[in-house]
Chain A
Amino acid sequence: MNATPRSARLSTPGEVVAILVGSGVISVLTLAAIIALFLTVLIPSFVFGGREQIPSDLPVYPGAHLDSAFASGFGGCTEVSASWSTPGSSDDVASFYRAQLNTGPWALTGTSPARGGLDLLFTSTSGPHREGDITVTRTAGGGSFISLELAKSSTSQTAVAGCHVMAGQPS
């Protein structure tokens, strides 16, 4: 092999500086790329990864801002957890959902008070079995926080065994 003699295995000062500067710059760029990827792709994909699983026919309070959406599915059952915030009062939001979840493809199966707000249980009246729990709570600023827990069977018209919402019970 064409090995450099041991006594000559010294880099020039220019090479040392070039390697140090190059490795420093590459490390900073790599770190910046990782942080950018983390902030722009990974976190949004994690926080809003379940956005597509929120039923398109589910009523959403006008002007409510989606804060998070998670979904997980197994064995034909998809569970969706989502939350919204809105400046609207909790009374208005609760009235909206009480009305909207009793029309069209949805039927209200129960309500109960929850943490200064209202817990609404609902189910679908047609199509694949879907059932959910929307909780409306008042926030410190006078607005409202809306959380959704939904389970939906995706394979047939009938409910998949065990595909239920594990939230509060109807009153």
Chain B
Amino acid sequence: MATLDPSAPRPFGYGDAITWPFHTSDWFGRVVLMSLIALIPFVGSMAIAGWVLTAADNLHNGAATVPPAGFYLRRGARLFFVAYVWGLLAAVLVYGSFFGFFFVFANPNAVGSAPFALLFSFGWFAFVFGFALATHLAFLFIVPGAVEADARGALRGLNPVHAIADVFRHPKDSLLAALIAYLAWIVASLGSAFCYIGILLTFGYGALVFAGALYVYERNTEIGAA
């Protein structure tokens, strides 16, 4: 019977994605500065995407160090592009649906009284429920999608088939990565509860948690290995 060697280093797991940034001595300053950079429209989003990928690169190289704050635009461009396109499509879909509902609400005659009542009893409930379900399910595809976008490039990374296939090929890792990404999103947005100033800490920290999940997922599934 094999015995576990207690002295052997424990591999970096999904849970470590939450704590790994604290191993870098000046993590606080880097996180705050990077969160400030992230507030710049477009450029900031691209920079923090590059920062996340650089952090994941460091982890792949065996160095669990938080990268210094900076404009990692060349590293983050392809991930930013894919995230931007999908984000824009999702926003158009979501706000378009809201727009349609408000239009029908203001013009009940457009659909007739019976469909109107049906639309605003079951339709609205179905829409809100479906919206919540879709946004939560989307977390399953965020980490695989980010890995595919980074590995395949901006245009080929737009193809959702690869990320969907990854989720079905690696359901356990996809679920765990989704849970960590969900946690990262909650943590990142927590700062807004503190008069929005807290986001200077939580946004960058959430991004590093996401970087940890990205690294473990890529390592375990070997999707982005080249």
Q: Are B42 and A23 neighbours in the complex by a CB distance under 8 Å?
A: yes
Cβ contacts under 8 Å, A53 to chain B: 109
- Mask of A32-46 contacts with B, CB within 8 angstroms, 1/0: 001001000110011
Q: Are A30 and B92 neighbours in the complex by a CB distance under 8 Å?
A: yes
> Is A57 located at the chain interface by the 8 A CB criterion?
no
Judged by DSSP, the binding face of B is helix
- Mask of B202-226 contacts with A, CB within 8 angstroms, 1/0: 0000000000000000000001111
> Is B77 located at the chain interface by the 8 A CB criterion?
yes
> Is B25 located at the chain interface by the 8 A CB criterion?
no
Q: Are A15 and B77 neighbours in the complex by a CB distance under 8 Å?
A: yes
Cβ contacts under 8 Å, A42 to chain B: 99, 102-103, 106
Partner of B78, one of A6, A11, A37: A11
Chain B proximity of A80: nearest CB distance (Å): 11
* A-contacting residues, B60-96, CB 8 Å: 60, 73-75, 77-78, 80-81, 84, 88, 92, 95
Residue of A9, A10, A15 ringed by the most chain B CB atoms within 10 A = A9
Q: Are A34 and B103 neighbours in the complex by a CB distance under 8 Å?
A: no
Cβ contacts under 8 Å, B107 to chain A: 45, 49
Chain B residues bordering chain A, tally (CB within 8 A): 38
Q: Are A1 and B151 neighbours in the complex by a CB distance under 8 Å?
A: yes
- Mask of B106-130 contacts with A, CB within 8 angstroms, 1/0: 1111000100110000000000000
> Is A166 located at the chain interface by the 8 A CB criterion?
no
> Is A24 located at the chain interface by the 8 A CB criterion?
yes
Chain A proximity of B61: nearest CB distance (Å): 9
Q: Are A74 and B117 neighbours in the complex by a CB distance under 8 Å?
A: yes
> Is A52 located at the chain interface by the 8 A CB criterion?
yes
When chains A and B are docked, how far (Å) is the Cα of A84 from the Cα of B95?
A: 32
> Is A99 located at the chain interface by the 8 A CB criterion?
no
Q: Are B77 and A16 neighbours in the complex by a CB distance under 8 Å?
A: yes
Asked if A52 meets B81 with Cβ closer than 8 Å, knowing A12-B74, A15-B154, A19-B46, the reply is no
Cβ contacts under 8 Å, B77 to chain A: 11, 15-16, 19
Q: Are B108 and A72 neighbours in the complex by a CB distance under 8 Å?
A: yes
Q: Are A71 and B108 neighbours in the complex by a CB distance under 8 Å?
A: yes
* 30 A-B interface contacts by CB (under 8 A): A1-B151, A1-B223, A3-B223, A3-B224, A6-B226, A9-B53, A9-B150, A10-B75, A11-B74, A11-B154, A13-B74, A19-B46, A19-B77, A19-B81, A19-B84, A19-B154, A20-B43, A23-B84, A27-B42, A27-B88, A30-B92, A37-B99, A41-B103, A42-B106, A45-B103, A49-B108, A53-B109, A72-B108, A73-B113, A73-B116
B interface list, Cβ under 8 A from A: 41-43, 46, 53, 57, 60, 73-75, 77-78, 80-81, 84, 88, 92, 95, 99, 102-103, 106-109, 113, 116-117, 150-154, 162, 223-226
Leading 6 A-B pairs by shortest Cβ distance? A11-B77, A3-B226, A3-B151, A46-B106, A49-B106, A10-B74
